[in-house]
Amino acid sequence: MKYADIIVDISHEDLDRTYQYLIPDDLKAKALIGIQVLIPFGKGNRQIKGYIIGLSDIPKWREEAIKPITSILEDTLMIEGQLITLAGWIKDTFGSTMNEALKTVLPVKRAVRQKENKVIRAALSKEELSAVLEREKKKNNKGRVRLLQELLIHPSLQFEQVKNDLNISAATVKDLEKMGIIQSEASVLYRNPVKQQPAALKAVTLSPSQQEIAEDFLKDYKEGIRKTYLLYGVTGSGKTEVYINIIEEIIKTGKQVIVLIPEISLTYQTVMRFYQKFGERVSIMNSRLSQGERYDQYIRAKNGDIDIMIGPRSALFTPFKDLGLIIMDEEHEGSYKSESPPKYHARETAIERARLCGASVVLGSATPSLESYKKALEGEYTLYRLSEREGIRQMPTIWTVDLREELKARNKSIFSRKLKSMIEERLQKKEQVMLFLNRRGYAGFVSCRSCGLVLKCPHCDISLTSHNNGKLVCHYCGYEESFPDKCPSCGSKYIASFGTGTQKVEEMAKKEFPGTRILRMDMDTTKKKGGHEEILSAFAKGQADILVGTQMIVKGHDFPRVTLVGVLAADLSLYAADFRASEKTFQLLTQAAGRAGRAELPGEVVIQTYQTDHHSIVYAGKGDYEGFYKQEMLYRKLMSYPPASHILAVLAASKEEEKALKASELLTEALKQWVDKEELIKYHVIGPAPARLSKANDIFRFCFYIKEDDYQRLVAAKDFLDGFYRFSEEFQGIVVQFDFDPMNS
Ligand code: ADP
Ligand code: ZN
Ligand code: ZN
């Protein structure tokens, strides 16, 4: 490449603004994305530092006017350089612009002012100060008098404090400063988002199996081996204790650690466990922090004030100088995949970041993603198992209840007879119950209340979605049929789109169990800041007998008095228009079951379902992850779904429906011609069809899918399409987005 695009200041300059420079021949081998260079800048050709963020052979300017790079700074791939290199990788691997990728990995500084705290000192001797004090007393300048008196006692004062305690204004300080009586200096106060003081640490001695894993990992680490590990440990098996143990050893070597936890599980309880152990050396990032607070955490990490950063996806880009380890808890969680461009997966990105800076990665889960478990079985990741719960606690007993039998027995309640009697028993014993409704993705699927049949697309093995116009639609291929008036399988009239919400469950529970204290946790009740924590801690304190909720309730918290978990309709999440539906259902059921019996009291779980024989329900009922994995992989292989193969979803969106459709047709057509020309016979193109979210904010969305076994060949297809639409006039006003191995569509 002949030219380099360079950004000159990543924290101040708008990242969009790049400058093109010529790469001298002798620097070509080293001029890579992320490298820091010295360049002549501005009229005086002042030498300044910049980063290469792009390379090309096409001059954007008159060739003779493009200045050459002066030199490459040797000691580079410093932290910013690493993150910029990572941005380049994200752009190539997941499909986005470099700018979108840079905005993901670099912090936003604009308009963020740090909270300043001034320190005030006397600029004069005590005698001189006393003289000034007498003078000000005579003039009756009360504010000055209060401040001077205080300074005679304490030689240095915090402005924040005198402002509040002595009611001294900033103007008073300024005046005295101008008169040369006092000096003030700014000390930047970096806000620490962990406000509470930690309670005393509960000492935990690792069990032999925990110990064995920690030792094996650390042995590798000390030998300089860096790789990816998958810690598959059942709920409550003590994965977090293992993390804490290895983190402690790694920070002793002067390295830093990033701990990724899904936002939904990032509760007070979880954070405190780390805070109790590592105190001020740990910080957190989450969406509830203000932009200023987030920026502070970024600076604290860069300055070396902290060793451990805990947070969701975005914490992956913490600018630690000497990162030793990335831990990704609940690695199966869908929230690790970004839903806006770049649609990167934090797992793959963590592994790449670790590779760039010589760190290891530990993935942890009670229900590993098929992706990770497959790689672990194939030896790409090292597999560790923790198959027992720690302490005296046992795995819960799980009962599966067939809801079709309830209908036969004329029980129209949403509580089966078994669940009802078990709840009553708990209420009598003053133990607690959690009722769980896996609501996500259920809306609109149509099922028969008599036989449990769910209407599916004949071409896609995906449930059809009911639309307001009375049609049932497949969002993978566009297939349509009208809403039937009776069940095509058993002829029953009880066929309807499903719609039981948490609110209704709460009402029904109040009716069935009069006088019971019930808390509800869902999107509605947790809207306000801290609402989530408030409900959970009220429940933990025993202020309610029953907690009703969506998947939000299955994460993170330990409730020692919960001895029964009821899953009201386990099938709900099975019919999302999503090839991962069975996997998500299995994960949710396993996580929900994991909430029961976390302390001395043994736990039981009731799973209510119309499909007692569905593999995700059968294996969740048995607590058999491997069994589920084997069966689900057969399905993925048969259908060429990830991780057996790969899928690239291409979205074309426009304000005009026709334009969006036309654009997606042009793209598929161009792709087919390209495939023919290149004789790339393996690509399999499905669509275009309206996207699952076919219209959002008045923007119409069409989607098509490309299936292909080899990921790099999908990347090649993406590169082709990307080039095609950027240089084509028909794509004015059209947004095109790429999503590899989609998680949520
Ligand atoms: P996981 O992360 O696998 O769900 P945790 O690390 O949260 O499991 O452990 C579950 C519970 O068991 C926690 O309360 C933890 O303090 C406790 N625990 C874990 N390991 C031990 C141990 N070796 N000895 C005693 N208690 C333990
Ligand atoms: Zn039926
Ligand atoms: Zn279909």
Q: pLDDT tens for residues 565-586?
A: 999 887 766 766 688 989 988 9
Which residue has a Cα nearest atom 15 of ligand 1? 238
Element (H, E) at 447: strand 446-448
Q: Are strands 465-466 and 646-654 parallel, antiparallel or unpaired?
A: unpaired
d(C-alpha 721, C-alpha 526), whole Å: 41
The residue to which tokens 């989609």 are assigned: 742
Task: Answer whether 478's CB lies under 8 Å from 519's CB.
Answer: no
What is the pLDDT, as a whole number, of residue 565?
A: 92
Which residue has a Cα nearest atom 6 of ligand 1? 238
d(C-alpha 142, C-alpha 144), whole Å: 6
Three-state SS letters, 658-669: HHHHHHHHHHHH
DSSP state of 575: G
Mutate to test the pocket of ligand 1, among 270, 273, 390, 392 (most ligand atoms within 8 A of CB): 390
Taking CB atoms and a 6 Å cutoff, what residues make up the pocket around ligand 1?
A: 204-207, 210, 233, 235-241, 390-391, 558
**Ligand nearest the Cα atom of residue 384:** 1
Mutate to test the pocket of ligand 1, among 240, 386, 595, 625 (most ligand atoms within 8 A of CB): 240
What is the pLDDT, as a whole number, of residue 441?
A: 38
How far does residue 495's CA lie from ligand 2's centre (Å)?
7
Mutate to test the pocket of ligand 1, among 209, 241, 261 (most ligand atoms within 8 A of CB): 241
How far does residue 475's CA lie from ligand 3's centre (Å)?
6
How far does residue 453's CA lie from ligand 2's centre (Å)?
5
- The alpha carbon of 131 is separated from its chain's Cα centroid by a whole number of angstroms, namely 62
How far does residue 206's CA lie from ligand 1's centre (Å)?
9
Structural domains in the chain, sorted by start = 2-105 (3.40.1440.60), 116-188 (no CATH), 208-386 (3.40.50.300), 397-443+499-636 (3.40.50.300), 646-740 (3.30.70.600)
In 3-state terms, what secondary structure has residue 108?
coil
pLDDT beneath 50, residues of the chain: 13, 110-114, 440-442
What is the pTM for the complete model shown? 0.80
Task: Answer whether 466's CB lies under 8 Å from 457's CB.
Answer: no
d(C-alpha 383, C-alpha 233), whole Å: 10
Binding residues: 448, 451, 457, 460, 474, 477, 487, 490
d(C-alpha 160, C-alpha 9), whole Å: 33
What is the pLDDT, as a whole number, of residue 111?
A: 42
- The alpha carbon of 531 is separated from its chain's Cα centroid by a whole number of angstroms, namely 20
Strands in 116-122's sheet, in edge-to-edge order, are 156-158, 116-122, 182-188
- List the shell of residues around ion ligand 2, using CB closer than 5 Å: 448, 450-451, 453, 487, 489-490, 492
d(C-alpha 529, C-alpha 584), whole Å: 28
DSSP state of 138: H
Binding residues for Zn(2+): 448, 451, 457, 460, 474, 477, 487, 490
What is the pLDDT, as a whole number, of residue 108?
A: 62
What is the pLDDT, as a whole number, of residue 110?
A: 44
